[in-house]
Structure 1
Amino acid sequence: MRMAPRLCIMAPWIAALGATLLMQSVASFMTQTLPVVAPLITASAGLAPERIGNFSSLVAFGTVLFLLLGGPFLARLGPVRMLQAGAVLAAVALLVAGLGTVAAIGLASLLLGVGYGPSPPAGSRILAATAPKHHRTLIFSVKQAGAPLGGALAGLVAAPIAIAAGWPAALLVAVGTSLLAAAAIQPLRSMLDAERDATRSIALRDVLSAHTIAAPIAALRVDPLLPRLTALSVAFALCQGCLFSFTVTWLVETRGMGLVEAGGVFAAMQVAGVVARILLGWLADRTGNATRNLVVQGFVAAGSVAALALLPTQADALLLPLCALAGFVGASWNGISLAEVARVAPPDRVSDVTSGTTLFVFLGYVAGPSVFSLLVTLTGGWTLPMLAVAAQLAVVAALVGRAR
């Protein structure tokens, strides 16, 4: 703890990156714990396995609520305090989920989403103010690598604990992790929250005002690249949301894997995403054309999901590499997108523009898993829903590429 002030003086961007990476990892760990233990928690609640998609949509909807209404809190309290508040709320959410009823899991999912909400705008605000411009995309991508890293930890930690000690024990481990992380970044608050507006009102009438709600959406008009970049990000979000929500359940239900084995494959997908976010972020800095890179990445991601959907049962040896490829290209777009958003946004509008883009992204996370779950029910299988996910990403990538 004593080294934090010295670190802040010597290299503020390193301290900022460390704090945002830690909290992004923990936020992802919290939200991905539910999908990882989904086969157990849905069975305990008397639900069909694919119903986890509805809970994943509630998580995303909770994040949308924060992105619409959380601007005044972020301005008043500062990004570090909001990251801490989100971590504490996520811990409360998993305690509620431990009750095991359908209503409790639904409420917990919504609260988890609200708790995750500060991560994108708070992280972007911190890094936009501290990151060296010539390495901006790489630094944003390293921070966003925390998302699949947290998911990998969920696969490697939550699944074995759930099997050995029950799914409520896995939730308790996540609760403790979140609270420790919130305490760990406290020494950095004096530096990273220095520009907060202590006079900003957080009264209910101001939080629910039309101006507060419209600000993130209106901010997308500040640059013509933003609508196209947002559309492509939403398509990626639909793909990633379905991959993260259903991979474990798909492997258990259709490929006959045990939960621990499926959790290991899920972890490999997440680790591939960690590596890709760093590598592809570095590549975007080198090429200087991040949007073009995302278009190409979208085509490859669509192809990998289609390959998984059509993979014959006798080719199960290809499951691990294909899932890793899907994670590599399908879960590594976030940092590149956020860095592009921060690059084109005016310095005083970074939080609003990031919230606006992320708002639509999370609407994709809301719609994707629920529609996917419905398609599984209607078609009686997983192949057509997976092909639909791949097709929408390929179509949007083609349209954005043509518009460029």
Structure 2
Amino acid sequence: MTVIVLLATTLVLAFSSLVALFPAAIAPALATSLGVSSATVGFQISLVFAGAMLTSLVGGPLTRRLGPCRTSQLSLALLGGAAAMLSIPSLPTFALASLTAGLGYGMTNPSASLLLVRFTPVERRGLIFSLKQSGVPLGGVIAGASAPALALSVGWQAGLLLLTAIALLGILVLQWPRAHWDNQRDPSTPWLASPFSGLSVVWHQRSLRYVALLSLCFSAIQLSISAFTVSLLVEDLSFGLMEAGFVMSGVQICGVAGRVGWGWIGDRLGDRLTTLSIIAMTTAVGALLVASLTPAWPKPVVAGLLCLLSLSSLGWNGVFMAEITHLAPLNRIADAAGGCLVFTYGGVLLGLPVVTALHGVFDRYTTVFLMLAGVSMIGLWLIRLAKRACQTSSPAEVSTSTASPVTSASRDHQ
């Protein structure tokens, strides 16, 4: 059952990433139809994550009310509907569709966390969650490979409608295990009555609070490296555009490998906070080395260094998600996952404009990477605070974080 649940949750997450990144992969064709610049199309990512933040706020109670499988089906319905709306060449519809896609995107992790906790052995949780999180870059790779080809062969609108058909197929397939996967749902849970319940769980438990803030730092670093590696190589290090593109592909592939590898390491160590500390330190060292690069460095060395940096800077997600399930009260895991992801998506939204502003000040991406090393060290400090909080948590704090007016541990988990 673990394999089936892992496959289902990974594919749903990959599909959400595919829909979110599909417009960016066909930005020139889409921009022409909308009558805007390609850069304007790029802002749809911000709308996607704004929508994801909204549903992360209610992801926990909604998952308990509907069940994790039904919530995943609802996520696919929103993503499929968003893809159909994106096929309409209208700028207001495009903006609304991007927000709708984000609403579906934000539901994926709370529901997946609840399913994986139920059907995954504790000692393998880091690796399993890391494998699931590999769905995000997998969706990006599929978008980059398929979107331009579909746009050229059948047209970009038909390509988006194909995504709608895939979403419908996914909803039908998930109907098969739904009765078993949703047998602990609580239909009486008021999912809109307390939209900040997930944030409350996170903020009242200090260890979760620090881990959530850590994810804000790490997601900002991850976005910056993903978004600005090509610009760094071309503008600061005299790479050709094609060369930089190949390096960027290597960076993403190493990021996938890092997610799986760090998940395995976390399980072997039996201490995921220590694993996250190692990730923070290696990210800081890697970013400092990147900050020291000049055009005189051999290009293979530069590419290798960036790929090594991506192993840690893009590989933290699965360990982070697994640690949430370890720290969170058993009856509030979905709430904690949703609450923490609000901070994660906040890092995504903040990272791009802050890094862009820093580049405007320093006019060099290498200097920006020096700042990213500092952000990583802030993350290391937050992990230290989280460890201390785990050791000193008071019974009052634990009871506050576990309190739930509408559900009990026996109803939510096996």
TM-score (norm 2): 0.80
Asked whether the 8 Å contact 1:62–1:110 carries over to 2, the reply is yes
- Give the Cα–Cα distance (whole angstroms) in 2 for the partners of residues 246 and 105 of structure 1: 25
Say whether 1:124 aligns with 2:113: yes
Asked whether the 8 Å contact 2:60–2:333 carries over to 1, the reply is no
- Give the Cα–Cα distance (whole angstroms) in 2 for the partners of residues 48 and 133 of structure 1: 48
- Give the Cα–Cα distance (whole angstroms) in 2 for the partners of residues 45 and 382 of structure 1: 31
Q: Secondary structure of the equivalent of 1:197?
A: coil
- Residue of 233, 245, 258 corresponding to 1:276: 258
Q: How does 1:147-296 map to 2 (within 5 A)?
A: 147-162=136-151, 167-168=156-157, 170-201=159-190, 207=192, 209=193, 212-221=194-203, 223-247=205-229, 255-257=239-241, 265-296=247-278
Residues 248/112 of structure 1: CA separation in 2 closer, same or farther (3 Å cut): farther
Residues 249/59 of structure 1: CA separation in 2 closer, same or farther (3 Å cut): farther
User: Which segment drifts farther, 327-336 or 47-56?
Assistant: 47-56
Asked whether the 8 Å contact 1:52–1:245 carries over to 2, the reply is no
Residues 394/189 of structure 1: CA separation in 2 closer, same or farther (3 Å cut): same
User: How far 1:119 sits from its partner (Å)?
Assistant: 1.1
- Give the Cα–Cα distance (whole angstroms) in 2 for the partners of residues 160 and 323 of structure 1: 28
For structure 2, the residue ranges without an aligned partner over 5 or more in a row are 388-414
- Residue of 57, 61, 66 corresponding to 1:77: 66
User: How far 1:384 sits from its partner (Å)?
Assistant: 4.7
Residues 29/184 of structure 1: CA separation in 2 closer, same or farther (3 Å cut): same
- Give the Cα–Cα distance (whole angstroms) in 2 for the partners of residues 371 and 232 of structure 1: 17
- Give the Cα–Cα distance (whole angstroms) in 2 for the partners of residues 171 and 251 of structure 1: 32
Which letter maps to 1:189? R
User: How far 1:287 sits from its partner (Å)?
Assistant: 0.9
Report what 2:346 is aligned to. Answer: 363
- Give the Cα–Cα distance (whole angstroms) in 2 for the partners of residues 377 and 44 of structure 1: 31
Say whether 1:32 aligns with 2:14: no
Say whether 1:16 aligns with 2:14: no
- Give the Cα–Cα distance (whole angstroms) in 1 for the partners of residues 42 and 361 of structure 2: 14
Report what 1:372 is aligned to. Answer: 355
Report what 1:90 is aligned to. Answer: 79
Residues 197/399 of structure 1: CA separation in 2 closer, same or farther (3 Å cut): closer
- Give the Cα–Cα distance (whole angstroms) in 1 for the partners of residues 247 and 154 of structure 2: 21
Asked whether the 8 Å contact 1:78–1:195 carries over to 2, the reply is yes
Asked whether the 8 Å contact 2:210–2:385 carries over to 1, the reply is no
Which letter maps to 1:297? I
Q: Secondary structure of the equivalent of 1:199?
A: coil
- Give the Cα–Cα distance (whole angstroms) in 2 for the partners of residues 67 and 166 of structure 1: 33
Choose 1 or 2 for highest CA Rg.
2
Q: Secondary structure of the equivalent of 2:255?
A: helix
Residues 265/40 of structure 1: CA separation in 2 closer, same or farther (3 Å cut): farther
Asked whether the 8 Å contact 1:292–1:401 carries over to 2, the reply is no
- Give the Cα–Cα distance (whole angstroms) in 1 for the partners of residues 294 and 166 of structure 2: 39
Asked whether the 8 Å contact 1:302–1:391 carries over to 2, the reply is yes
- How big is each residue's C-alpha offset from its partner over 1:204-238, in whole Å with a ceiling of 9 and x where there is no partner? xxx1x3xx122111111564321221121111111
- Residue of 353, 363, 380 corresponding to 1:397: 380
Asked whether the 8 Å contact 1:25–1:147 carries over to 2, the reply is yes
Equivalent residues, number = 384
Report what 2:330 is aligned to. Answer: 347
Residues 169/126 of structure 1: CA separation in 2 closer, same or farther (3 Å cut): same
User: How far 1:191 sits from its partner (Å)?
Assistant: 1.1
- Give the Cα–Cα distance (whole angstroms) in 1 for the partners of residues 360 and 91 of structure 2: 19
Which letter maps to 2:327? V
Report what 2:394 is aligned to. Answer: none
User: How far 1:382 sits from its partner (Å)?
Assistant: 4.5
Asked whether the 8 Å contact 2:208–2:386 carries over to 1, the reply is no
- Give the Cα–Cα distance (whole angstroms) in 1 for the partners of residues 125 and 252 of structure 2: 23
- Give the Cα–Cα distance (whole angstroms) in 1 for the partners of residues 299 and 28 of structure 2: 21
- Give the Cα–Cα distance (whole angstroms) in 2 for the partners of residues 174 and 217 of structure 1: 32
Asked whether the 8 Å contact 1:26–1:181 carries over to 2, the reply is no
- Give the Cα–Cα distance (whole angstroms) in 2 for the partners of residues 112 and 142 of structure 1: 23
Residues 299/108 of structure 1: CA separation in 2 closer, same or farther (3 Å cut): farther
- How big is each residue's C-alpha offset from its partner over 1:260-280, in whole Å with a ceiling of 9 and x where there is no partner? x76655443333222222221
- Residue of 131, 134, 148 corresponding to 1:142: 131
Which letter maps to 1:230? A
- Give the Cα–Cα distance (whole angstroms) in 2 for the partners of residues 218 and 302 of structure 1: 31
- Give the Cα–Cα distance (whole angstroms) in 2 for the partners of residues 80 and 304 of structure 1: 40
* Identical amino acids, percent of aligned pairs: 31
For structure 1, the residue ranges without an aligned partner over 5 or more in a row are 1-11
User: How far 1:374 sits from its partner (Å)?
Assistant: 4.7
User: Which segment drifts farther, 281-290 or 193-202?
Assistant: 193-202
Tell me how large the CA RMSD over aligned residues is.
Answer: 3.2
- Give the Cα–Cα distance (whole angstroms) in 2 for the partners of residues 43 and 313 of structure 1: 36
